[in-house]
Amino acid sequence: MKTNRTHPRAVVTAKAARSIEEGHPWVYEGEVRRFELPSGDSWDNNGSLKPGAWDSTGSGEAADSAQSADPAQSEQSAQSARRQRPANDFRERRRRKELLNAPQTEDEIIPFEALPDGSIVDVVSLKGSYLGTGLLSRHSRIRVRLVTRNANDDFSPAFWERKVRWAWEYRKTVMGDDAHACRVIFSEADEFPGLIVDRFNDVLVTQTLSAGMERLKPVVFSALIKVFAEDGVSLRGIYERNDVATRSLEGLEQTTGWWSPQSDDDSAGDTVDAAAHTDAADSDLTVTDITENGVRYHVDFANGQKTGFFLDQKYNRRAVARLAQGRRVLDCCTHTGSFALNAALGGAEFVRAVDVSETAIDMARENARLNGPDVAGRMDFTVANIFDLLPELERTRNPEHFDFIILDPPAFTKSRRTIGSAERGYREINYRAMRILPRGGYLATCSCSHFMDHERFKRMIAEAAQDAGVRLRQIEERQQAPDHPIVWGVPETDYLKCFLFQVV
C-alpha cells in the first residue's frame, strides 16, 4: 500500500475485514470503529449525522429512565427483558452493536465539511492492513461501498472512464448483437456501487441509488457518452429514473428527467467537458423501440417500471419460446408482454397475457400489435390478480385447456423480514399452476428476489409439487442474462431464478 495517502481511513472490525477479504464490497455502520483523517484528527463514531441516529427504538429515553430508577429494580427489569427477548433477535443485537459507535453529543459528530457524503475512504483493518477503497454514505446503514481493492488506483476521471470502458467491452463480448438493448453497468457487479445503466438503442436510462455515485455523476455520465461515441454510437441522451424510495436512505431526493452536466453543481463537475454531452433536454420523446429475440417492443423509459423494461430475462424468454410451439400458454404477471410475445412468436397456438395493472396490459397489447397480425391474432389480454385467477381456473378445471403456464411475478420480498410470507405467496401460485396443468404440461417459474435464494426457491417448488400431487421433470435451471453478471462473493448480484419443468 502506498504511504502518505490523502484519503481518510475507516478502521473496521475483524469481522468486516474477513467479509471484505471474502469478496463482499460493503462496510456497515456498526463495523466502523473509527475514522482517521490525514491531518491526524480521528472520530470514534462512524459518521452519523446526529446523536442516536440509529436508535430508532428510543433506547436513549429508556437508558435515562433506567439510570434514574432503583439499581436493583433496573437489574431485575433487564433480566426479565433478556428472558423475554428471543435468543436470535438479530435486530436487537445489531442495534446494540451500532450504539457502541453512535455519538453521544454534537461535539462527537464528524463535521460534514471534514467528511462529506461521497468521500473517498480507505478501508483498513484494526492492524492497519489495507482492504480496499470506497465511497462514504453518512446516512446509510451501508457506510462504505468499495470501488477498488488496488491501493495503486487513483480516482481521476481517467480511472472512472477506464472502468466504464471495461464494463462496456464486457457487454459487447457476452451479448454480441444483443448489446443494443442491455444493462451496461450493474452496480456492485461492475464496481459502480448503487448505479444502474440500461441501454435502449440510442438512450441510456440510469438509476443512481448511492450518495457516492450521485456525487460522481458528472464524471461517470460524461465517460459513458465518450466511450459510446468512440464506438460510433451517438446517444440521444441519458434519462434519469431516480424515482426510487431507497434514495431517501442515502439522504437523496427523488428525481426524473434528462441529465445535463449543467444541472450538477457538485465540485466533481469541474472535470467534465460539457460539450461531450448529447443534449436531449428539449426532447419530450421518452418512448423508444427495441428488438429482442426477434420481438419488437415499445419501451416507455419515463413511466415504465424500473428503467422501463426488464432486460434480465432476455434469454429465459428465448428458452420459453422453444417450448411454446403448438401449446396454449398462460403468462401470469406479463408486465409489458415479453414472455407472452416470445411464446406467440415461438409458435404457440394461443397465449393469454395476464397482469394486475391495466396500464401494463395496454402496453402489452400495443406490443402485440407492433409484431403484426399473426402474433396479435393468437393473443388475448386480461387484467386480473393471479391470486384470484389461478384458483378460479383450478375450480373450473382449466376451461381454456392451458398446457403451458409461466409464472414471473414481481419480487414478493425485498427484505429478510418478510421472506416467510413471500415464500407462502410463491408456493400458492406454483401449487395452483401445477394443479391446473394436465399431465405432460409445462411450467416456467421465476423469482427475482435476492432474499429468496436458490435453495429456498427449489425447496418451495418441491413442497408445492408434493402438495399438488404431481412430479416434476426439470428441463433447465436458468439465471439472469450475462449483462447482469454474478460476482462470486457478492451474493446480492445472484438474484434471478428461472426453472423450466414438465409435469409428469
**Is 305 found in the same domain as 333?**
yes
- Unique residue bearing C-alpha cell 472512472: 160
Kindly state whether residues 340 and 255 are assigned to the same domain.
no
Domain termination residue (choose one: 148, 175, 194): 148
Count Cβ atoms below 10 Å from residue 138 Cβ, excluding itself: 22
- Cβ atoms of 341 and 320 within 8 Å: the answer is no
Alpha carbon distance 308, 311 (integer Å): 9
Domain count along the chain: 3
- Tell me how far CA of residue 223 lies from CA of 134, 227, 303, in angstroms: 19, 6, 26
Q: How far is CA 44 from the centre of its chain?
A: 32
Examine the fold and report which residue of 219, 248, 276 is the final residue of a domain before the chain moves on.
276
- Report how far residue 32's alpha carbon sits from residue 336's, in angstroms, rounded to the nearest whole number: 44
**pTM for the whole thing?**
0.86
Angle at 479 between CA 477 and CA 485, to 5 degrees: 150
| Full residue range of the structural domain in which residue 194 is found | 157-276
- Kindly list the distances between the CA atom of residue 367 and the CA atoms of 200, 298, 309, 360, in Å, as whole numbers in the listed order: 16, 6, 12, 10
344 and 304 both lie in a single domain: yes
- One domain for residues 211 and 300: no
My answer on whether 365 and 311 are in the same domain is yes
In a domain, 395, yes or no: yes
pLDDT of residue 321: 98
Question: 200 and 144, same structural domain?
Answer: no
* Confidence at residue 419, expressed as pLDDT on a 0 to 100 scale: 85
Termini Cα distance of the chain = 60
Per-run averaged pLDDT (10 residues), the chain, 504 residues: 77 96 94 91 75 48 40 49 53 60 70 91 96 95 96 96 98 97 98 98 97 97 98 96 94 95 55 42 76 96 92 98 98 96 98 96 96 97 97 97 96 79 94 98 95 93 98 98 96 95 97
Look at residue 281 and tell me if it is in a domain: no
Q: At CA 207, angle to CA 299 and CA 499, rounded to 5?
A: 65
Is residue 286 included in any domain, yes or no?
A: no
What residues form DSSP beta bridges with 189? none
**Among 113, 148, 183, which residue terminates a domain?**
148
Distances (CA, A) of 386 to 330, 364, 470: 11, 17, 21
The CATH number of whichever domain residue 42 belongs to comes to 2.30.130.10
Same domain, residue pair 477 and 346: yes
Q: What is the CATH number of the domain that holds 489?
A: 3.40.50.150
Residue 261 lies in a domain: yes
- Listed in sequence order, the residues at least 6 apart from 196 whose beta carbon sits closer than 8 Å to its beta carbon are 183, 185, 186, 187, 206, 207, 209, 307
Asked if residue 182 belongs to a domain, the reply is: yes
Asked, for residue 201, whether it belongs to a domain, the answer is: yes
Residues 448 and 323 in one domain: yes
Q: Are residues 116 and 173 in the same domain?
A: no
Residue type for position 379: M
pLDDT of residue 98: 56
For residue 288, being part of any structural domain is answered with no
Both 365 and 448 in one domain: the answer is yes
395 and 467 belong to one structural domain: yes
Residue 182 is a catalytic residue = no
Q: Which of 332, 446, 448, 498 is catalytic?
A: 448
**Sole residue written with cell 428488438:** 291
The answer to whether residues 174 and 232 belong to one domain is yes
| CATH number for 214 | 3.30.750.80
User: Would you call 450 exposed, middle or buried from its count of C-beta atoms within 10 A (0-12, 13-18, 19+)?
Assistant: middle
192 neighbors 213 (Cβ within 8 angstroms): yes
Domain membership of residue 431 (yes or no) is yes
Beta-carbon count within 10 A of 147 CB:
25
